[in-house]
Amino acid sequence: MNIEGTGSLSSPRIDLAHEQPFTLGPMLVEPALRKLTAGSDEETVEPKVMQVLVALGKKPGAILSRDDLIECCWDGRIVGDASINRVVSLLRTALRELTDEAVTIETLPKVGYRVLVASDAVEGSTSEQAPETASAPSSRRRSILALAGIAMAMMLGVAGWWWLSQPNSEQITIAMLPIEASEGVDPLYAAGMAAEIRSQLGSSVNLEVTAGESARQLVEQDRSAAEIGVALQVDYVWQGTLSNSADNVSLDARLVEAESGDLVWSESLQAAPDAAQFLPMRATRIMLEALDRPINPNVQEPNISSGDYALYLTAMGLLRSRGVEERLAAHEILEQLVDRNPDFGDGLAGLAKANYLYPTADRAEKDALWATALEQAEAALEIDPLSADALKVSGMLRTDDLQLQLERLQLATEIDPGDAEAWFWRGIIQRDAGPLAADMLEISSQLIAVDPLWPASWAASQSAIEFGDFALARELEERVIAASATEPQRLLARARLARIDGDFSEFMRLVREARGNLSDAERRWGFFTLERYTRFLLGLQPMDSGQVVPTDARTRLLDRIRENVAPTPSDFIAAGITDQTFWDDAHIASEALPLLLRDNRETELLVYYDTNFGSTADFAEWARETDRAHHIIPFVAPYMAMAMRRAGRDREASQLIDLAREWTQLWSDADQTSVFSLLYQLQFEAITGDSASAIETVHRLPDFGWPLQLSHTDNHAIGLLNDDPLFAEIRLLPEVRAVLDPIRAQLARERAEVLALGFE
């Protein structure tokens, strides 16, 4: 090795635009282009990586301390060891891929770094261009090294998460209030910075940090920090104020103990306007030190300019609002941002989320956006395997692999247990997973604990009922009442409590009293689906869904089906449903099946089936490929077996019954029982004529919210009460009528009371 000497080397800030090209062994370094070239191979590196290489390469063999590197590459800003380690690691990978071992970075423990150039690599090189050498790796070897580097990065990421997840102290809960934006500060920028700080704090050990609708609404009610902390049942409340001037950006942060109202920590942080992107990391680091929590080694400094980072924060603030215009604006900003910064993992994850949440009712456009969102989420995970936003989007869209969906959404909630959105999305997939799902009641409890005033959280009590825990459902609604920021929120929670008790007239009365001053989200999640289902049960006029749910041909068809009217073939065609595509829309197919059989249209139904499936095995294979066979087969197979029997196709009917038996057993063997698993079981008992088991199942159904507390307007869910032909014989059994008759009587009483209140 050719070591030219040692000693400290201090340099002014390295401006890549003004650094001249130079050579290191067989490699040409072009700082302004951020390009490294060795023979026919080249690499483009991050700006910070190039700055470090320039600093070390100005005098090969000379030692630079970490402070030296911070001074000339980070402008003297406070940065952590993890940031420097990351940059040096990326630099080593690039040098290894281009030069093998001809140019290396050596670490001198507790001293610093130096660049070393092999003596045989120096000979023959020029200051203009590095020659091709035998030591330069082939493309194949570079590919192998790249794959190894990715594997190592993932291993390090997992190892870092394992380290962070180890319990070393008592759990602390923090409610993070919206950052107060001083005059001249864009509130959306402040909202984005708050979200970034919350995300970094939330991924720390035994620290649950929430910052959702609940905090925002309570601040708007002028509640004190202590009052908000008590309402949200947390240990501490975080507050911050953001201001700026021509010289700096300032963040004043403080932590208030909820129980006492005492100020337990405060800090004022300043940064130059072109370095404001480092404020979230600094604020997080200082507060974690004050709380005696380890710093997350996976958090990386943003590798983009301060201007682009400001745009990123603004876009995430827009996205957080969920407004239609705001989501469109966020999407436009993030598209431009990622185009300029393709390696900015957070930006890529944000764009994936913007594509997933893009407001459109056009199914083809939505499918295309979701395909793009999935690609972007996967690309973001290659950059950062622990990106919570990327994990969430991928978890929602990887419909080809249900187990992977569950794993990614579970990891997102483990990384950041204060992310209400992650819990909500995880709940959607876990419900879809059926017998594969983990504890749904944990998700219901966590949603309300994290963000009780976020309207989407209000579905938690309905979920608890579906799994038979009425006590938890009431507890969750009481917690919403305790945290409520407005009287309409309290009224809606009381209305839902009345519905849990089966008091539909009181539910409708309270909803009417509350509905005058509600947001779209509060209407949708607070009462809309529940009132639609209540009207459906009571035989009242259905609600217009257009104001809350986007209306298209498919929605209109579903509304017609839910009025207990079987669609005609022309109705299907008008909604874009043909013989070939009938099974592609699970909601329409499932709700139409009993109606078609009720109206003796089994010949038409068999055309839909035979057009797509040549045999029972083909149907089973198709269901498995959807990764939702545990829902499709136990529901569809009994109805198709009935259609086959009517058509004299007894052998195929028997095959479908055997298939239903196999998949219904999966639900029976699962750890959790839900109203839907019981309904699947009842369908199988009905098609096989197992009256004794059917009686037992019917007696269990009310303990799981059937039918009074169901929250989905589905014909088949209450087919036992109505005219679903699958249950024709079961419905007449005296032991079954002993359950159904009191329910019908209660519905008749409630209908009379609701009509007396002036509802139609």
Question: Above 70 in pLDDT, residue 162?
Answer: no
Which is nearest to 596 in space by CA: 605, 607, 608?
Answer: 605
pLDDT tens-digit map of 244-290: 887 888 999 999 999 999 998 888 988 888 787 788 888 888 888 87
Does domain 306-536 fall under CATH 1.25.40.10? My reply is yes
pLDDT of amino acid 389: 93
- The average pLDDT across 598-617 equals 95
CB-CB contact of 746 with 502 (8 Å): yes
Lowest mean pLDDT among 105-114, 214-223, 496-505, 749-758: 105-114
Question: Above 90 in pLDDT, residue 498?
Answer: yes
pLDDT of amino acid 9: 41
Which pairs count as long-range contacts for 391-397, CB under 8 Å and 24+ apart, including other chains?
391/415, 391/422, 392/353, 392/421, 392/422, 392/425, 393/349, 393/352, 393/353, 393/356, 394/352, 395/425, 395/426, 395/429, 396/356, 396/425, 396/428, 396/429, 397/356, 397/370, 397/373
- The DSSP bridge partners found for residue 314 are none
372/385 Cα distance (integer angstroms): 19
Count helices and strands in the chain by DSSP H and E runs:
34, 12
Tell me the CA end-to-end span of the chain in Å, nearest whole number. 90
Residues whose CB is less than 8 angstroms from the CB of residue 190 and which lie 6 or more positions away in sequence, other chains included? 178, 179, 180, 181, 242, 317
Tokens of 106: 């050596």
Greater model confidence, 523 or 6: 523
Question: Above 70 in pLDDT, residue 222?
Answer: yes
Could you please report the per-residue DSSP string of 522-562?
A: HHIIIIIHHHHHHHHHHTPPPPP-TTTS---HHHHHHHHHH
pLDDT of amino acid 188: 83
- The average pLDDT across 620-642 equals 91
pLDDT tens-digit map of 542-593: 776 555 555 677 777 877 787 778 889 988 888 888 989 899 887 788 889 9
pLDDT band at 149 (very low <50, low <70, confident <90, very high): very low
Architecture of domain 172-290: 3-Layer(aba) Sandwich (3.40)
Tokens of 101: 């071992």
pLDDT tens-digit map of 15-57: 888 889 999 989 999 999 889 999 888 888 888 889 999 999 9
Question: Above 60 in pLDDT, residue 123?
Answer: no
pLDDT of amino acid 717: 83
Average pLDDT over the chain, rounded to whole? 84
- The average pLDDT across 329-351 equals 93
Determine which helix (DSSP H) or strand (DSSP E) holds 181, and give its type and residue range. strand 180-181
Percent of the chain with pLDDT over 70: 88
Question: Above 70 in pLDDT, residue 713?
Answer: no
- The average pLDDT across 351-375 equals 92
252/241 Cα distance (integer angstroms): 5
Question: What class does CATH assign to 16-137?
Answer: mainly alpha
pLDDT of amino acid 110: 64
Question: Above 70 in pLDDT, residue 122?
Answer: no
Lowest mean pLDDT among 162-171, 313-322, 347-356, 731-740: 162-171
Q: What is the pTM (predicted TM-score) of this model? A: 0.72
pLDDT of amino acid 138: 40
